[in-house]
Amino acid sequence: MRLRIAHRTSYKYQPPATGVIQILRMTPGSHDGQYVAEWQIDVSSDSRLHVHQDAFGNTTHLLSEGPTADLTINVQGLIETHDTGGVLRGTDERFPPSLFLRSTALTTVNPAMAMFSRELRAESEDDVLGFLHALMVQINEHMTFDEDPTNSGTSALEAFGLKRGVCQDYAHIFIACARSAGVPARFVSGHFLRSDGVVHQQAGHAWAEAFVHDLGWVGFDPANGICTTDAHARFAIGLDYLGAAPVRGTRYGGGMETLTVAVKVEQAGGRQHQWQSQ
């Protein structure tokens, strides 16, 4: 599948900020099942983008800007994907899977979640892949997709208690539960081609990868209740959202900050790209 992706992030500061620093993880990489045919990043200011790879191998750009009232980051390109049945191959793995057993503030579990995980793992006995599929299905049924009650700082245990959240929350719950059952898991940020024909989206997508012996890393998308397919474009990984966020940074000075995001994901060959703010 050929995916045409465009993502615009815009900030407005009133009064103007005296300085802005942002780390961008908005550049996908190529591996088995994913080939980046075209990609570019454009920034509204004259800021230089310093490119490097972070500890996990994600391509990052550091943006620093002086006094500014607004800042817009546009990324777009073409990615060719192939369905690998959710199994990830050909990536630059810099750490042993055991690193991804490490809990973070966003991926801790409470007793209810730990029991939930233990019971599912016990039912699956030694079938780790079966446990992970069951976990994905159970989370999908437990949760209701709702943009209102959670934000980027909501933890897995908070979202689990609310039984509501967005794809980031589903991924955090899956990761927290998998780790509590002794299965390495990590957060993935990227984009997803919806099957209902909707191409304009409010944000990027998020899912999880878990490590299965003899298979390697396998992608699970609990928000959609499926393993990853050629509809998923993978951008960055981390222990949780904070390590894989498309844009993360800080500002100095200024007052009110307004953020708008416009995303479009479609199969190549469709209509020409037109921005639609969400």
Q: Which domain holds residue 222?
A: 97-243
Say if residue 106 is in the same domain as residue 48: no
Please report, for residues 31, 55, 125, the alpha-carbon distance to residue 59 in angstroms, rounded to integers and kept in the order given. 14, 10, 38
Distance of CA 137 to the CA centre of its chain: 19
86 assigned to some structural domain: no
Residue 141 phi/psi, 5-degree rounding, is -80, -30
Mean pLDDT of the chain: 93
- For 147, left (φ over 0), alpha (ψ -120 to 50), or beta? alpha
Say if residue 6 is in the same domain as residue 51: yes
Write out pLDDT tens, residues 91-140. 999 999 999 999 999 999 999 999 999 999 999 888 999 999 999 999 99
Inform me whether the pLDDT recorded for 275 exceeds 60.
no
Say if residue 27 is in the same domain as residue 70: yes
pLDDT for the residue numbered 255: 79
Confidence band, pLDDT 50/70/90 cuts, at residue 47: confident
pLDDT for the residue numbered 265: 97
Say if residue 72 is in the same domain as residue 106: no
* Beta carbons of 24 and 49 less than 8 angstroms apart: yes
274 assigned to some structural domain: no
pLDDT for the residue numbered 278: 31
pTM exceeds 0.85 for this model: yes
Inform me whether the pLDDT recorded for 276 exceeds 70.
no
219 assigned to some structural domain: yes
Higher confidence at residue 46 or residue 72?
72
Say if residue 173 is in the same domain as residue 185: yes
pLDDT for the residue numbered 253: 84
34 assigned to some structural domain: yes
pLDDT for the residue numbered 190: 98
Inform me whether the pLDDT recorded for 271 exceeds 60.
no
Question: How many independent structural domains does the chain possess?
Answer: 2
pLDDT for the residue numbered 217: 98
CA angle 14–248–53, rounded 5-degree value = 140
Say if residue 217 is in the same domain as residue 158: yes
Say if residue 175 is in the same domain as residue 222: yes
87 assigned to some structural domain: no
Say if residue 230 is in the same domain as residue 260: no
Say if residue 13 is in the same domain as residue 27: yes
